[in-house]
Amino acid sequence: MKRANSLFVSALPCICVSFAVPAFSQSAYLSGWDSVWNDEFNGWSIDDSRWEVAYRENSPNNELQFYLPDQVSVNGGQLHITATDQPYGSKQYRSGLVRTWQEHRYGRWEVRADLPWGQGMWPAIWLLPRDLNAAPWPTGGEIDIMENIGSNTYFVKGSYHYNWTPGTPITSNADYITGEDFAAGMHDYAVEWDPDQLRFYVDNNLYHTIDNPIQPNAQPMSLIINLAVGGDWPGNPDPSVFPQTFDIEYARYWSRDETELINPDFDRSGWAINGWNVFGNSSEVGNNVSVQSEAVLDGSHSLKLYGQFDEAENYSGVYQGIAVTEGQDVIADASAFIRSQDSIAGTSNELIMKLEYYSSFGAALGSPGFLGEIPILMADGTTTEDTWIPHQIVDIAPAGAVEARVSFVFRQPGQDAGAVHVDAVSLLASDPIPGDFDRNGSVDSLDFIAWQRDTNLGSLADWEANYGTPTLANSLAVPEPASITFALAALSHRVFRRRR
């Protein structure tokens, strides 16, 4: 986070000596996630209702530090963990470790931190079950959000460790290297843990994804932040580097909000398309399912889809679902764009948008949990190019539905070139408005006519109470002037499907 102080310094050199406002004062909103807790470390001591501060002589990995509460402090909007070359107990060095009392299984953890440096330093931000008797390590799993050794502060590592039996772990990990010195400034380290995927980020860059992680006995985990000294990985410290400090700007935790899409605007990029399930992404042609900035309706990126060129009819795209209940109004919106440089004019390529329903969350297309689908055509060889065209599916969740899923399917029957972009996706489910007897999202005179035909549709008192309630579609957002034309155009492309 660059601060703009230098501008003020040059213009008003006398005034702006200190500007001790933390970079963030509260947890940021993230689509698809609910903020559960965050600690911005704005006080003058650690919040011991949230954090356990270690007093611990012996740690694994032949580490050389004694963890002491005195090595942990909070000031200047940050948590500081300081390692010193001072013997204590049987140990040569002192350092600190904090861990949350709370534990969570699945979710998103993010910690912003500036690392220490020097031979022998081993800072870590990681997740581990508190009770290792219930699930002896590593059967309960261990997720290392960030680890580094101070002899090389130009990389950080993210890891997942597990095994079916206690003892040696099976590990999946990756290094993140950009040429930046992670001990010379603040960076965001995050993990998103879903039942079917683990994703590792630095500064919102996705650098490691584990699909269907094997979780022998996945346990709720607590967040640990510590600075080890010496031990098996870093080796013995260089005495000249002490003292060293691990500075933490904040720690935040979100749980999955299954009523909202994650990353509906494709702006939280990464080749694996954060939050979306990807299919038909062929390594042969290279990322025919990707996020790009070539054509954008909102934010900075959109989804780009093209064919796999595999000499057969093929399907490529993404999908994602939200939780619904039977009888809810469901509205799916998305816009498509064909760049004339990537034309599909005259080809047999097409892009289909689908609203699908499932009786169990995450069930496979065509499995017993699949209840049905509504497909619409978003683009084909006759579609106007170089313009965003909005599409909408309006429906009612059928009996047994627990998930509504939107999917975008690029179909390449031949081997034709060309691509289609998708952006500004929305998928919403809401309880019907009492009095909306024709179930079109608004309460008006047509509902009265519907009620006159069939008074079993509901109570006229509901109609009177809610008369004039605007349509759900119109109440989603007040369009900015530039997008009003899209909103108007959407009506003509709208697919309006009813099931009773």
Establish if 423 lies at the interface with Ca ion (CB under 5 A): yes
Tell me the three state secondary structure of residue 5: helix
- Catalytic annotation, pick one of 40, 63, 110, 142: 142
Establish if 141 lies at the interface with Ca ion (CB under 5 A): no
Per residue, what are the HEC states of 167-201?
A: CCCEEEEEEECCCCCCCCCCEEEEEEEECCEEEEE
Task: Rule CB under 5 A: choose which of 298, 342, 373, 380 binds Ca ion.
Answer: 298
**How far does CA 429 lie from the centroid of its chain?**
20
Q: How far is the CB of 488 from Ca ion (least distance, A)?
A: 20
Q: How far is the CB of 446 from Ca ion (least distance, A)?
A: 6
Using a 10 angstrom Cβ sphere, with 0-12 exposed, 13-18 middle and 19 or more buried, the burial of residue 325 is: exposed
Classify residue 292 by its DSSP letter.
E
- Respond yes or no: is residue 147 known to be catalytic: yes
Establish if 110 lies at the interface with Ca ion (CB under 5 A): no
Establish if 436 lies at the interface with Ca ion (CB under 5 A): yes
Residue 257 or 298 with smaller CB distance to Ca ion = 298
Residues 257-296, one symbol each (x = binds Ca ion by CB under 5 A, - = not), give --------xxx-----------------------------
Residues in region 30-59 near Ca ion by CB under 5 A? 40-41
Q: What would the two tokens of residue 282 be?
A: 């062929």
Residue 24 or 137 with smaller CB distance to Ca ion = 24
Q: How far is the CB of 332 from Ca ion (least distance, A)?
A: 16
Q: How far is the CB of 183 from Ca ion (least distance, A)?
A: 4
| Part in contact with Ca ion (CB under 5 A); list of ranges 8-16, 164-172, 226-234, 436-444 | 436-444
Residue 356 or 423 with smaller CB distance to Ca ion = 423
Q: Where are the alpha helices (DSSP H) in 386-459?
A: 445-453
Q: How far is the CB of 443 from Ca ion (least distance, A)?
A: 6
Residue 133 or 240 with smaller CB distance to Ca ion = 240
- Catalytic annotation, pick one of 40, 63, 110, 147: 147
Measured over the CA atoms of residue 489, residue 492, residue 493 and residue 498, the dihedral's sign is positive
Q: What would the two tokens of residue 486 be?
A: 């899209």
Using a 10 angstrom Cβ sphere, with 0-12 exposed, 13-18 middle and 19 or more buried, the burial of residue 306 is: buried
Residues in region 303-362 near Ca ion by CB under 5 A? none
Classify residue 435 by its DSSP letter.
T
Residues 178-197, one symbol each (x = binds Ca ion by CB under 5 A, - = not), give -----x--------------
- Do residues 278 and 319 make contact, with C-beta atoms less than 8 angstroms apart? no
Establish if 249 lies at the interface with Ca ion (CB under 5 A): yes
354: amino acid identity, one letter: K
- Respond yes or no: is residue 142 known to be catalytic: yes
Q: How far is the CB of 74 from Ca ion (least distance, A)?
A: 9
CA–CA separation, 144 vs 393, rounded Å?
41
CA–CA separation, 434 vs 329, rounded Å?
12
Task: Rule CB under 5 A: choose which of 438, 448, 493, 494 binds Ca ion.
Answer: 438
Contacts of 68 (CB under 8 A, 6+ apart): 54, 55, 88, 94, 95, 96
CA–CA separation, 378 vs 495, rounded Å?
11
First to last CA, the chain: 52
Q: What would the two tokens of residue 146 be?
A: 């960030």
Residue 217 or 466 with smaller CB distance to Ca ion = 466
Task: Rule CB under 5 A: choose which of 299, 362, 375, 381 binds Ca ion.
Answer: 299
Q: How far is the CB of 408 from Ca ion (least distance, A)?
A: 13
Active site members: 142, 147
User: Where along the sequence are the contacts to Ca ion (CB under 5 A)?
Assistant: 22, 40-41, 77, 114, 183, 249-250, 265-267, 298-299, 423, 436, 438, 440, 442, 447
